[in-house]
Amino acid sequence: MKADGNISLADISAVALAHARDATLIADGDDDFDAVPVDVDVERFRDYGV
């Protein structure tokens, strides 16, 4: 997954864990999780980036 995009190792680890556990990923408003190569539900706790 890391090779597919410009996403940090920590963020892609969170995506992989959420995918493996069939869980919802809680994230901020940054667009880091908009184009991940796996199907993961993302819940945003704000609608703007920092």
Could you write out the DSSP letters of every residue in 15-45? HHHHHHTT-PEEE-SSGGGTT-SS---EEES
Q: Where are the domains of the chain?
A: 2-44
As a whole number of angstroms, the distance between CA 38 and CA 22 comes to 11
Instruction: Give me the pLDDT at residue 28, please.
Output: 87
Per-residue pLDDT of the chain (50 residues; tens, 9 = 90+): 555 667 888 998 999 999 999 999 999 888 888 888 889 999 999 887 77
21: β partners: none
Instruction: Give me the pLDDT at residue 3, please.
Output: 57
As a whole number of Å, the CA-based R_g of the chain is 10
Global pTM value: 0.76
Instruction: Give me the pLDDT at residue 1, please.
Output: 56
